[in-house]
Structure 1
């Protein structure tokens, strides 16, 4: 689909994502500029095609072409669309920071260039219409010339018929008057027959020759007039079209150079701004990195020291608790030993008493 000026004016770009990035999305801008370049190249190719057709029409009509200087100028002048360089995407780190942002001035300039090319195309079409009209007039003149030739052929045929019938005509008197004035030649027109009846074969021949000469002169005069008018109009249209084309080509070249200069300065400005921004962000990021590393190292060392102190404290508390528990265990062991000794003595004492009681209660056999 052809690109219109409204598409250029209403085109919107999305903002790039990421911290510290500004402008428009670079890929979208590059794609849109590529579309504009393609459209300009298409219009320039169409313009060259129309110019070639105009030259072919001019050569087919036998009109001399442009001078060699104009031809060399047209051949050596670079086309406005082909000379527009395609924007190269920025790779590497610069791709994150450099954004090809077209300003409103560039968009308006591109719109004006497109409008100028469309106007040139319209004028070339108008010139083609005028050339076609001239060709139609030439065709009409040729048709009239053909009709005139046909009429001349008819007159010549009538003249030949009159010459053939001349011997059979009535004899003329010494003063040229025919004997029988009521005699008519069969197959002749009414006016020729009337002349033949009054003046004879010589009058018919003279009348046919006069009609023939008048038709020839009239046809040649009209033909020359139409050809001259058509040639003058054709040369005028070609001259105006060439002047207009040269003017438009010059304006397009000037506009192209202006756009290229503005785009280059804008590109350099964006590159410089992006580079300074890159350096600033790199310096800020490096200082922030160093600060974070230093803070992290200090915090890590502090945490390690606190952990060591906490470990030593816990180990000391555990050793103290172990010593306390060991003391309690020793006390319990000594208590157990004493308890076992006392229990053993208590049991042995009771057993001894039981034995004695059993011995005392046993009857004596001697009694």
Structure 2
């Protein structure tokens, strides 16, 4: 395919879905075509310059054998650009700029990811630390409350023992008094007055 300047100007690339820009493979393929055609043009230009120099020097035109065209080898990376090919240089510069922007965005995304992970880990550690502190405080409060309740229970048991002892002593003393009074007075006749 003979590549013309109009082909370069009118070339349309398809947009890629789910991200901005053009399909990198399609752009690379098109740039490879440009490089091949440009190399052919440079080779033809050199051949014509050699023929012109031969005519000017007076040599026979049959003596100049046509130089074979270089084999088309697509360049995967931007090749060194001759001064006669500013569009290729611009393309290489654009590709280099795009690669640099890509690398910057990737580095920025990784830094942001690392920052988010670091913040989340710090927040998780703070939450865990706060929960552990609250748990220890709650356990200490419950231990104090248990100790207070156990002390109160001990006091109430002691009070119950003392009260029972005093009540028993009181009842026994009254029973003794009743027995003593009954024994000392003897049998008392019951009066039938109120009956």
TM range (shorter): 0.3 to 0.5
Give the number of the structure with larger relative contact order, counting CA–CA contacts within 8 Å between residues 6 or more apart.
1
Q: Which has the larger radius of gyration?
A: 1
TM-score, normalization by structure 2? 0.46
Q: Which has the higher helix share?
A: 1
